[in-house]
Amino acid sequence: FEREVRLTATLSHPNTVDIFDYGRAEDGTYYYVMEYLPGLNLAELVERHGPLPPARAVYLLRQVCGALREAHAAGLIHRDIKPSNIFAARRGGVEDVAKLLDFGLVRPAATARVAHLSGEGEILGTPLFMSPEQATGAQELDERSDIYSLGAVAYYLLTGRPPFEGEGGVAVLIAHARDPVMPPSRVRPDLPEDLERVVLRCLAKAPAERFPNAESLERALGACACAGDWNQDRAARWWRDTDRATAARATVS
């Protein structure tokens, strides 16, 4: 644990959560102290407000690519990218600041060979957003495993559902490894074609068919026609309207 948190603490990208302290309590429990993040994680955002406008999804995902670019350059693989580990934060008057957090499963790339089940049958990582190679433990993981997981997050942000679902974690792992993914436009017909192509390339079964790194994915997202349609003005307006609606509901109740 200490080694993993220490590695995370070396990261300084503005879209990576800041770690201030870590240690072990008297009862043996490990802890770390991170920055306070007002806002919502992306799982909460979709659960409460539904799938995101494509431009907003692109706006947030590009920021996460920046955080991954630094981590990958340092030789670190996150291994547990999922909506609840990405925050849409409100920082100093700036809205929709993406923050990648919970590097609890981070590993140097050279040691990131991961069996999908531990000796006790515990699934490591989150099956709904896990890459095929992480699900099967068939090969060492590299940055393209995180690219797949971020693609699965993108699918969720745009459709409100993960790319694969099933009865239990093992069924989902098998689906990631074997089953073709349903194009997100089948769930959301108005999804821009260029953005769908980016998401589906992230979700390719073979790592060699995905974007090779976070930088190339960020460029592809930025090239989507909708990329400039979400900005700070729109983000500020959305949060302001949401605050008003929340206050109104609280007054009525």
- In whole angstroms, what is the distance from residue 15 CA to residue 63 CA? 6
The confidence score (pLDDT) of residue 118 equals 40
C-alpha span between 234 and 253 (Å, rounded)? 29
Which pLDDT score is estimated for 223? 99
Whether the pLDDT of residue 139 is over 80: the answer is no
Pairing of strands 86-91, 94-100: antiparallel
- CATH for the stretch 2-252: 1.10.510.10
Q: Which residues are catalytic?
A: 80
| The pLDDT of residue 108 | 60
Report whether pLDDT(227) > 70: yes
Spatial contact of 210 and 198, defined as CB atoms under 8 Å apart: no
Task: Note the pLDDT of residue 1.
Answer: 66
- Percent pLDDT > 70 in the chain is 90
C-alpha 14/C-alpha 236 separation (Å) is 19
Contacts by 162-169, CB closer than 8 A, 24 or more apart = 162/128, 162/129, 163/203, 164/128, 165/128, 169/123, 169/127
Q: Quick one: tokens of 240?
A: 């302001």
User: What are the domain boundaries of the chain?
Assistant: 2-252
Q: How many CA atoms lie within 13 A of 91 on its CB side?
A: 14
